[in-house]
Structure 1
Amino acid sequence: MKRLKRLIGIMLLGAVVGTAGVGAMYIYVLPELPDVNSLKDVQLQTPMRVFTSDGKLISQFGEKRRIPLPIQDIPLKMKQAFIATEDSRFYQNPGIDPIGIMRAALNLVLTGKKSQGASTITQQVARNFFLTRQKTYIRKIKEIFLALQIEHILSKDEILDLYLNKISLGYRAYGVGAAAQVYYGKSVNQLTLPQMAMIAGLPKAPSALNPLHDPIRAKSRRNVVLGRMLEQNYIDKATYQQAIATPLSATYHGAEIQVHAPYLAEMVRQEMEQKYGDKAYTRGLKVYTTVTSQRQLAAEKALRQNLLNYDMRHGFRGPVMHLWKDGQTPLSQQAITDKLATLPNYAHLRAATITDVADKQATAIIKGGQTITLNWDGMKWARRFISDDKQGNEPQNAHQILAPGDVIWVLPEADSNDYRLSQLPDASAAIVALRPDDGAIEAISGGFSFNQSKFNRAIQARRQVGSNIKPFIYSDAFASGMTLATLVNDAPVNQWDQSLGTAWRPKNSPPVYAGPLRLRVALAESKNVVSVRVVRKLGIDSVVQHLHLFGFAKDELPHNDTIALGSASLTPIQVVRGYATFANGGFLITPYFIDHISDSTDQIIYQAKPKIACSHCEHPQVPPTIVQLTSEPGNPLKQCPIDYATPEQLAPRIISQQNAFLVAQAMHSVITGGGSWAHHTGWNGTGWRALELHRDDIYGKSGTTNDSRDAWFSGFGPGIVVTSWVGFDDYTRNLGSSAYNNNLGKDQVYGGEFGGKTAQPAWIDLMRAALTGIPEHQLPTPPGIVSVRIDDKTGLLSNKTDYTSRFEYFIAGTQPTQYVQTSGSNSDSSIQDQIF
């Protein structure tokens, strides 16, 4: 009895001392314990995601990939896999596992090593949110107290929710939602049991047990998880046997990018970092851009295909490298595959190694290990590149192009499993599409491949604009009283340049001169000397001031006659913004590319409020209804977001509606031409290639600089304005010319490169995609515009109704008052007086 009393006393003393010790430890660490109440409103670190306006994923940014999921959306078997492996008594214990702690303590006494952590899921939540992974006694003590506090304020399901969404699972995947995407490209509810078990086995060592890093250890760990599930009766024996016999299926999956727009994504990233700092990457923000997926994809495709076409007609520059040469031992297929794996992808181009060459075909292994055949039709274009202006003879067989061991680029053929020989373009390009009523960017690309160059030419490349400047100059002419019928002498210009000590002789391209021309024809045919004469008539100060209205900085414009030929250097985004004024009736809009931003709970925290172009809205005493603004099919104002604009909501008017209409009419002739082909008076505008769109509601202007260093085409249709540019980043190179290739047939493009041939095809392709399904909608004739019949040759009034006359538009009061003489030359002198 005495011994029993002594034992009880010792136990009571031990309990008192133990309790006191625990209390002392709690008091000691209490000041260092964080407030676990923060877990009630925790914001998990999630990446920023960027979407198109119609909700397609463009990109995501952030160090950690996470897809937060509510606990009810996580499959039961996945929850059971984690519980069986990490904390089998999770729903029974108070946040700590006394049995596990005693087992870990005993192991420490026997081995002297801290090899068993004995951490429950709740303790892991405490560690993951508040502590480090450093193995120290004080950290363990804090972990225990935090776990007890967490159990007091959160339910078991809330704790499990935090755990499954926070846990690190390798390859920057945090939480089971991200892990399912990274390893299997699926959502969690699409995973099989073996796949769930694989993920549940990762928390112990996400790097060492990773199926992508060490498949053998990963499979062994997966089977351990399945064994624990069997022990806990979560699965039966048959299911277990079937699961452990299942081979590994994990492969790396990046983000589910639905619209590839890396230049736009980088624009968004920079804007968001400027707006929110580093928190932009961790708050789970969703950025919805203004681009539409259909138009963005069309823009990317148009730019790339146009560059590839340009590059191929100038010749094949040869293989990227040689893995072996004639007479050397070829590499094995595995060695070839390993080498190709080190080469990047550029857009749809894939690296390939030639393994065999026959007369009219070649065999190759492409990146990834697939063997393909290149047929003659896919390589017969490849005459040798000599210079930008010269190509070699057409090849007669595949041996003249390729040899075994060559590393080349191949391109998949559309709508087939075939490939064709290709190459990474040397030239560069940019394309931008805006909504002219408010400046929303609907598509943008700054180059062939972001992997090739991260320089965004759409917003960063300042290039000479050539004849793309002329509509702005003609706008000044109309503002100064000239008309579409004003005659200007298309004749050579000679001017002595005192600074150069020589005469300046601007030339037309081609150097053909037609004498007196109406301004409509002069713009449509892009007559350089007419533009020079117009600038001289207006004066440099007037032209510079007028161009400044369109957003072009005065100090970036040349203050001399070369401005008439487009010597100013502008970016594509500046150019397309200027052209939007002609499309929207005279307003200067501001381009923008972020429509709205929502937080991780889908609450909108930012909404763009662009100023809109709306001629109907300038007189609010008779405001149009939203129905009136949206009822006309194809109306550029159909997306007007408000009933009518207040002065604060309205974009600034910089030219009159009538002025914008006249410029647009001249740009219409750039595409349609004029005259009568039946009577041999027909003529083409420089943008005639757009006739293939079979629309009468498109307007454009080409642009080419000296020596064809830059090629442009800008223009618009219903609800969209587009600028396309092509050139070399190396400004010393010109776009050159290509000779006829006898291997390709009559429909090929060849000859000198210029705006209508080199930049316009991308513009046409984008317009075709953008306007599909949109009814024709010609610009409405604004008030203050009159139409009278004039003589084609003189611009005077005409009574004729045949091919020698046409109806022309004039601002009321500027139309001609004199009729052309039907015989004699009584009016010749008066006509000559009007020509300059």
Structure 2
Amino acid sequence: MSSHHRNRRTSPPRGRFISIIKWFFITIFVCSAAAAGLAGTAFFYFSKDLPSVSALKAYRPPAISTVYAEDGTIVAEFFRERRIVISLSDMPDHLIEAFLAAEDSRFFQHRGIDPQGILRAFIKNIQASNIVQGGSTITQQVAKSFFLTPERSYARKMREAILAYRIERYLEKEEILHLYLNQIFLGHGAYGVEAAAQNYFGVSARDLSLAQAAILAGLPQAPSRYSPFRHPERARERQLYVLSRMVSGGILSQEEAETAREEKLSIYPRQNLYIEMAPYYTEYVRQYVLQRYGEKTLYEEGLQIHTALNLSIQREAEKAILKGLADLDKRQGYRGPLSNVGVAGIEAAVASIGEDSGETPVKTNMITRAIVVHVDNQGQKTRVRFGKHTGEIPLSTMRWARRPNPEVAYYDIRIQRPGDALKVGDEILVRLVEKQENGIWDLRLEQIPKAQAALLCMEVGTGKVRAMMGGRDFRDSQFNRAIQSRRQAGSSFKPFIYAAALDKGYTPASIIVDNAFVFRDETRDFTWKPKNYQDTFYGPTMLREALNKSRNVITIKIMEDIGMDYTLGYVRKLGLTSPINRDLSIALGSSGHSLLELVNAYGVFANQGKLADPVFINRIEDRDGNLLENNRPFHEKVLSEETAFLMTSLLETAVSNGTGWRARTLSRKGWPVAAKTGSTNELQDAWFVGYTPQLITGVWVGFDDEASLGEGETGSRAAAPIWVDFMEAAHENLPPTSFPPAPPGIVTVKIDTETGLLPIAESKSSAFEFFQKGNEPVEFTPRSGQIEDEKDFFKQGL
């Protein structure tokens, strides 16, 4: 066969090969075109509704609204996301490098998506049989945080990748880092590195050490799983991982990493300012701002709320309340142990108490649970254990722990030995006094008081509320008894009746007969026989004496004389806005009022007749420093200076020679005091309201269920000690001063103290008294035998 024919037979295979090659490339082209078309379609589909990344240039995340005391101390924060934005330049380099090493080591090389990083993370996770690395870049995390939901789906990942690419084209790398480090959630309510640094270490991000920075950088993957609070060992593992990544990336030397590994870190939960500082005060502020500016503004717009709170005297208010209620509670006797675990349960119960069980480490003056392990009646002491500690309670400190007996007065019952109150296995409360040299704690038996109390302190002249306690413990009850509660005012209401009488023609020297008095209401077929506190009548009594001794019958007679309508109109002028009954019992404080109302009304006397608006907030600014609200003191003249002066004088006598005698200790230290006690029927409410030239303070004590406070627990006994303790501490740094001098309309006249008239030689006693000009007495006391039978039921001389 010729070569020609051989060549012709071999050409078809070659042609077929070229044809195959041609069709292969055509197929590749078609597939590529199809893939490109599909990719383009997918890109168009997933990107068509994506938001614009231009909003990232004007980064204004939700910001914390901060509440300040008047000295600038932060006392509360309100937020949905606790975030404090700081600039990248304020962050230490090792903090930024730690996050880059842990989350995106090729951040400055890629353009938003890092295939190499995704592959590396995939391999590492396969090797570890667990997810130890994430494939998302920092830019992708920014895209997800700002624009997308946290759902796990391929569609969301596609949208995330597209947004990341756009962000990289729109922002500089440093801008992306700034967004990421301020936006990222790092656990326990902290967003961004500044809030997290404060949360975990109590410092600014500016001051973080390398070891601390590595802890934070380990959190983004799973903040709850690696929480330093809840899972310190896991957090430690992540810290070591971050440090090793920094070494492998050439950021740290082995020696630097080792130093950071060995650093001992103190990690404590961040103090809850809202609860710890002045919770009743700041909760009142929160409710006001919420009502006026709305929820979004309060929790997202970073308001700067500057209050009138004086933090130092707020602390004194809390101390006085706790001490006063503890003293009251102990006067009622011991209610018994929390439980009895039995001898067999002692070890388990002891182990459940203390640091190992998650409770606060022991320290002086704290109250903790303890288990009675031995009652020594001969040695007159009780031994208890709590956690790893042992303590003893001397009998001499627990004499109060009587068993309440309704048939015997509390002062007649005293325990004679520890076993009268305690037995082995009792779970009790103790207060730590001092740790002895032998390691045994000196303890005191305690119990949680059942009664509640409220205190409100306002500055004279400005109306600024300097301190407020709405109850014993905000954790147990958020009900604010200083503002929300309406309790019978009792005798603390009487000064308003006397002020009304002074403006109706009465004087401090007016004589009113204190005798049996029957009031009949024909329309309601009701008969009332009012009586004084000790069921005694005192005959003719001068008005000054009637107020400082808190005479019930005289107060009722005065009010009936001046008239119901006049009285109600008068007390409304003083700022009392709560509903008031239309009967004579209101003279004894039968209507309910808030502590704020009473303090503000007493302030009219202290402010020389001017009613001041209470000021809780000085000013409010937005996050940019624009002033939203500026509350300057506002006063309205509602009484004459003369009447206000006379009332202050009368209330001073109530302290120096009346029911407010416990406040004399303040007077002896140089501060004049004007005050009045208040007690209600069945001793359900105890009040003490009074003022110095600088501060007006009111105290209320009672049970929420309106039970009786107990025998003898009047305003003088239950409320006044709290008032005195607080006011002494509040005035410690205030210079003593005097009440304003008598205004021009006041004259001083010497009178006969039995008749209220001008004295004569035969007068048994005389004293100088204040009068408004024109109301001073002009008649002399009649000589013996000249006094006619009393015709005026209420008073002589008018």
| 2:768 equivalent among 798, 803, 807 | 807
| 2:114 equivalent among 81, 97, 107 | 97
- CA deviation profile, 1:199-220 (whole Å, cap 9, x unmatched): 1111111122223333333222
Which of 688-697 and 370-379 deviates more? 370-379
| 2:649 equivalent among 643, 665, 668 | 665
| 1:316 equivalent among 317, 334, 340 | 334
Maintained 8 Å contact 1:792/1:806: yes
Q: Output the amino acid matched with 2:240.
A: N
- CA deviation profile, 1:22-79 (whole Å, cap 9, x unmatched): 6555443443221222222222234433322222232333343333322222222111
| Structure-1 residue corresponding to 2:718 | 758
Q: Per-residue deviation at 1:664? A: 1.3
Whole-angstrom distance in 2 between the partners of 1:831 and 1:29: 100
CA gap of 1:251–1:767, structure 2 versus 1, over 3 A, is: closer
The answer on 1:292 being equivalent to 2:310 is yes
- CA deviation profile, 1:313-352 (whole Å, cap 9, x unmatched): 1111111122x12465642643344998699x9x964333
TM-score, length basis structure 2: 0.87
Q: Per-residue deviation at 1:529? A: 1.3
Whole-angstrom distance in 1 between the partners of 2:728 and 2:746: 30
| 2:382 equivalent among 343, 357, 362 | 362
Whole-angstrom distance in 1 between the partners of 2:566 and 2:687: 25
Q: Per-residue deviation at 1:753? A: 1.4
- CA deviation profile, 1:390-416 (whole Å, cap 9, x unmatched): 447322333322233322223355999
What is the root-mean-square deviation in Å for CA atoms of aligned residues? 3.7
| 2:474 equivalent among 450, 455, 463 | 450
Q: Per-residue deviation at 1:516? A: 1.7
Whole-angstrom distance in 2 between the partners of 1:223 and 1:419: 44
CA gap of 1:350–1:332, structure 2 versus 1, over 3 A, is: closer
| Structure-1 residue corresponding to 2:5 | none
| Structure-2 residue corresponding to 1:742 | none
Whole-angstrom distance in 2 between the partners of 1:539 and 1:365: 65
Whole-angstrom distance in 2 between the partners of 1:471 and 1:73: 60
Whole-angstrom distance in 2 between the partners of 1:325 and 1:113: 49
Give the secondary structure class of the aligned counterpart of 1:707: helix
Maintained 8 Å contact 1:697/1:779: no
1:133-532 counterparts in 2 under 5 A? Answer: 133-246=150-263, 249-256=266-273, 260-279=277-296, 280-322=298-340, 324-326=341-343, 330-331=347-348, 333-337=350-354, 349-358=367-376, 359-366=379-386, 370-387=389-406, 390-391=409-410, 393-413=413-433, 419-496=443-520, 498=522, 503-532=527-556
- CA deviation profile, 1:731-759 (whole Å, cap 9, x unmatched): 2x21112xxxxxxxxxxxxxx11111111
| Structure-1 residue corresponding to 2:600 | 577
Structure exhibiting the larger radius of gyration computed from Cα positions: 2
Whole-angstrom distance in 2 between the partners of 1:341 and 1:461: 36
Whole-angstrom distance in 1 between the partners of 2:128 and 2:45: 29
Q: Per-residue deviation at 1:488? A: 0.9
| Structure-1 residue corresponding to 2:664 | 691
Q: Per-residue deviation at 1:501? A: 6.4
Q: Per-residue deviation at 1:704? A: 0.8
Maintained 8 Å contact 2:77/2:273: no
Q: Output the amino acid matched with 2:456.
A: V
Maintained 8 Å contact 2:275/2:475: no
CA gap of 1:341–1:221, structure 2 versus 1, over 3 A, is: closer
CA gap of 1:767–1:43, structure 2 versus 1, over 3 A, is: same
CA gap of 1:219–1:340, structure 2 versus 1, over 3 A, is: closer
Whole-angstrom distance in 2 between the partners of 1:230 and 1:388: 79
| Structure-2 residue corresponding to 1:790 | 751
Q: Per-residue deviation at 1:310? A: 0.7
- CA deviation profile, 1:364-402 (whole Å, cap 9, x unmatched): 445x76544434444333222234974473223333222
Q: Output the amino acid matched with 1:253.
A: R
Which of 413-422 and 762-771 deviates more? 413-422
| 1:736 equivalent among 710, 725, 740 | 710
CA gap of 1:230–1:591, structure 2 versus 1, over 3 A, is: same
Which blocks of at least 5 consecutive residues in structure 1 are unaligned?
614-650, 674-684, 738-751
Whole-angstrom distance in 1 between the partners of 2:206 and 2:126: 44
Q: Per-residue deviation at 1:779? A: 2.3
CA gap of 1:490–1:244, structure 2 versus 1, over 3 A, is: same
| Structure-1 residue corresponding to 2:796 | 834
CA gap of 1:210–1:328, structure 2 versus 1, over 3 A, is: closer
Whole-angstrom distance in 2 between the partners of 1:593 and 1:543: 30
The answer on 1:767 being equivalent to 2:727 is yes
Whole-angstrom distance in 2 between the partners of 1:108 and 1:211: 24
| 2:565 equivalent among 541, 554, 561 | 541
Q: Per-residue deviation at 1:669? A: 0.6
| Structure-2 residue corresponding to 1:81 | 98
CA gap of 1:145–1:214, structure 2 versus 1, over 3 A, is: same
Equivalenced residues, count: 764
Q: Output the amino acid matched with 1:783.
A: P
CA gap of 1:405–1:69, structure 2 versus 1, over 3 A, is: farther
| Structure-2 residue corresponding to 1:612 | 634
Maintained 8 Å contact 1:56/1:259: no
Whole-angstrom distance in 2 between the partners of 1:74 and 1:405: 55
| Structure-2 residue corresponding to 1:627 | none
Whole-angstrom distance in 2 between the partners of 1:217 and 1:658: 73
| 2:144 equivalent among 121, 127, 144 | 127
CA gap of 1:106–1:20, structure 2 versus 1, over 3 A, is: farther
Give the secondary structure class of the aligned counterpart of 1:244: helix
Q: Per-residue deviation at 1:723? A: 1.1
Q: Output the amino acid matched with 1:662.
A: L
Q: Output the amino acid matched with 1:408.
A: I
CA gap of 1:304–1:332, structure 2 versus 1, over 3 A, is: closer
Q: Per-residue deviation at 1:481? A: 0.9
Whole-angstrom distance in 2 between the partners of 1:10 and 1:800: 135
Which of 297-306 and 279-288 deviates more? 279-288
Maintained 8 Å contact 2:66/2:305: yes
| Structure-2 residue corresponding to 1:589 | 612
| 1:656 equivalent among 640, 660, 676 | 640
Whole-angstrom distance in 2 between the partners of 1:338 and 1:328: 19
Q: Output the amino acid matched with 2:779.
A: Q
Maintained 8 Å contact 1:299/1:444: yes
TM-score, length basis structure 1: 0.83
CA gap of 1:457–1:114, structure 2 versus 1, over 3 A, is: closer
Which of 685-694 and 506-515 deviates more? 506-515
Q: Output the amino acid matched with 2:199.
A: V
CA gap of 1:9–1:348, structure 2 versus 1, over 3 A, is: farther
CA gap of 1:233–1:41, structure 2 versus 1, over 3 A, is: same
Whole-angstrom distance in 2 between the partners of 1:487 and 1:281: 60
- CA deviation profile, 1:170-194 (whole Å, cap 9, x unmatched): 2222222222233233333444322
Q: Per-residue deviation at 1:81? A: 0.8
CA gap of 1:588–1:332, structure 2 versus 1, over 3 A, is: closer
Q: Per-residue deviation at 1:467? A: 0.9
Whole-angstrom distance in 2 between the partners of 1:583 and 1:414: 44
The answer on 1:40 being equivalent to 2:57 is yes
Whole-angstrom distance in 2 between the partners of 1:353 and 1:445: 32
Q: Per-residue deviation at 1:353? A: 3.1
CA gap of 1:414–1:691, structure 2 versus 1, over 3 A, is: farther
Percent of residue pairs bearing the same amino acid type: 36
Maintained 8 Å contact 1:337/1:365: no
Whole-angstrom distance in 1 between the partners of 2:42 and 2:27: 22
| Structure-2 residue corresponding to 1:49 | 66
Q: Per-residue deviation at 1:775? A: 2.2
